[in-house]
Amino acid sequence: MKEESTGLIIGISIGVVIGVLLAILALFCFRYHRKRLQIGNSSSRRAANVPIRTNGADACSILSDSTVAPESPVKSSQNGISSWLDGFKKSCVISSGMPEYSFKDLQKATGNFTSVIGQGAFGPVYKATLPSGETVAVKVLATNSKQGEKEFQTEVMLLGRLHHRNLVNLIGYCAERGEHMLVYVYMSKGSLASHLYSDKNGLLSWNVRVRIALDVARGLEYLHDGAVPPVIHRDIKSANILLDQSMRARVADFGLSREEVVDSHAANIRGTLGYLDPEYISSRTFNKKSDVYSFGVLLFEIIAGRNPQQGLMEYVELAAMNSDGKVGWEELVDSRLDGNFDAQELNEVAALAYKSINRVPKKRPSMRDNVQVLSRVLKQRQNNRFNQNLVSTTRDEIGIDVDQVESRSPRSPMPEHQRQQSTDSTAESFDV
């Protein structure tokens, strides 16, 4: 009996020891797994040193060191962690629900990568025809660039869930053979910058400029107020606004974008010189109003046809001194328009731009306010056109009547009272 109870005690003790050992092992595994997840998350979200783009048009050069930040786990990673990160990134991309294209498909669609249509900071862009017959743009990210990889993940993960007619939507991606490619809606008229600064595309009329401004404002309004969580673009500039066949504009290039909730404090200044919010430069904190500032600069760029890196803002400040902020912005207008613009529209758009670049972020309008003002400007234009058409149609009708009367009795002109009646009816129509 004593032996039995001793055996029982030993058995229970061994069981407890094994149980404790298993619990410790499970705890260790859990903590190890969680640590790896944190590394993965921070590497995919944290802003490593990203180049400041110095050219608002199509090129870009690096001002700040574009190596990975010292505290970044990517830099200090051993092979194991780094390969685990690759797996993590891939699973993030797959979980975005975006269609994946094979390298072979895209090789064929681009004629073996011969149909170059543009060159970005992180690689070339090709025109491609998918087997469905759809024309698309394929952006190939430089394989040797950490930033290219980061841009790839940001674009796939963000654009996978953002859909709006004023954003250059992502159609799919390819991550194969060490290559990273992004497949976009094809924007046949290229970038706004190429229209503002290249003679080969012809002059952008004032009417088209305002329409483009509203399209961009709508795209940004969606990012700020429609997307959940909100997204801050962080690199609004004329090179990142693309135009379709009908010259309707969409916001492109989400490589630097961030979800507002994830990380609003960047260790390094990112974006493009000339468009950067001074408040962001001094505080290193970006928010929706930093995009609003860049949008204000873009509005002035559209008005003046002048590059923000070539003295646009000095020019704006000079014009502002003569304009009281609200009217008198005429001297700023692109001289190539040769006076072909509506002065009231110009003053409304310029006043809005001036508010958007206010040094105090709180005083800047929201993107929703921007959309409202620009929509009103366009609506007013439509109303004016409608009224003008009405007047000219009425005039034409009267002209026909008069002609008919005159052709019926060429030698007996319409009696004075009848003429008076016709004129009165014109006045009535005009009031309508």
In the complex, which residues of this chain contact ligand ATP (CB under 6 A)?
A: 53, 58, 60, 117-122, 125, 137, 139, 168, 184-187, 190-191, 239-240, 242, 252-253
**Max CA-CA distance within the chain?**
144
Both tokens assigned to 419? 């003429």
Shortest distance (Å) from residue 250 CB to ligand ATP = 8
Q: Which is nearer to ligand ATP, 46 or 139 (CB)?
A: 139
Shortest distance (Å) from residue 377 CB to ligand ATP = 27
Of 235, 253, 277, 334, catalytic: 235
Q: Which is nearer to ligand ATP, 85 or 136 (CB)?
A: 136
Q: Which is nearer to ligand ATP, 117 or 269 (CB)?
A: 117
Note whether 160 and 97 are within 8 A (CB). Answer: yes
Note whether 371 and 218 are within 8 A (CB). Answer: yes
Q: How far is CA 295 from CA 79, 190, 257, in A?
A: 43, 19, 15
Burial 7-38 (b: 16+ CB within 10 A, else e): eeeeeeeeeeeeeeeeeeeeeeeeeeeeebee
Q: Which is nearer to ligand ATP, 166 or 191 (CB)?
A: 191
Q: Which of 392, 291, 299, 298 is nearest to 345 (CA)?
A: 299
Q: What are phi and psi of 116, to 5 degrees?
A: -65, 135
Shortest distance (Å) from residue 246 CB to ligand ATP = 14
Q: Which is nearer to ligand ATP, 218 or 270 (CB)?
A: 270
Query: Is 235 in the active site?
Result: yes
Q: Is residue 420 helix, strand or coil?
A: helix
How many whole angstroms separate alpha carbon 273 and alpha carbon 289? 17
Shortest distance (Å) from residue 288 CB to ligand ATP = 20
Shortest distance (Å) from residue 185 CB to ligand ATP = 6
Q: How far is CA 331 from CA 199, 223, 314, 334, in A?
A: 22, 33, 13, 9
C-alpha 145, offset from chain centre: 23
- Catalytic residues, which ones? 235
